[in-house]
Amino acid sequence: MSEGSVTAIHITPTHGELPQPVERVRAQAAKGLEGNRYFFENGAPAGNALTLIAAEALAAFTAETGLPLTAQESRRNVLTEGIDLNALVGKRFRVGAVDCVGIELCEPCRHLQAMTRPGVLQGMVHRAGLNADILTDGEIAVGDAVVELDATA
């Protein structure tokens, strides 16, 4: 079983604003993270409730391209360390007290590159994070474990 940890959390209530760091956030099943712009009172579309990105992916991108890209600039909610997020597509996992399921890779887009710098689109392919659904209510905090639960959703 794979295990990593949460090293940062970023949310923003406003589209286009750089997400701000928080120490903890409340997650609601099928809705998203409270206080985040992608919180859906009537239910989040598949893969829109939570986004995660690996610190290792950001470090590899910078090492290979020479371009900086922070977790905050990636606009993903949860920065992890020590777990292969790509391997969680189609699998159940727990972040802190919250059960989730990986839906699809969160590939970079032109919008992300426009909000950061040239080279992000090509350099972050297949390592820009994971889109997930939230299955249970709970809290996610910096320092929490990220644990794969089983092999299938």
Could you read off the pLDDT of 61-88 as tens digits, one per residue?
Answer: 999 999 899 999 999 999 999 999 999 9
Torsion, Cα of 136, 31, 54, 152 (10° steps): 50
Q: Is residue 150 part of a domain?
A: no
Domain extent, residue 82, equals 3-141
Q: Is residue 108 part of a domain?
A: yes
Report how many domains make up the chain. 1
pTM: 0.92
Could you read off the pLDDT of 15-53 as tens digits, one per residue?
Answer: 888 999 999 999 999 999 999 999 999 999 999 999 999
Query: Can you list the positions of beta strands (E) in 12-121?
Result: 20-22, 24-28, 32-33, 50-54, 78-81, 92-95, 98-105
Q: What is the CATH number of the domain that holds 44?
A: 2.40.33.20
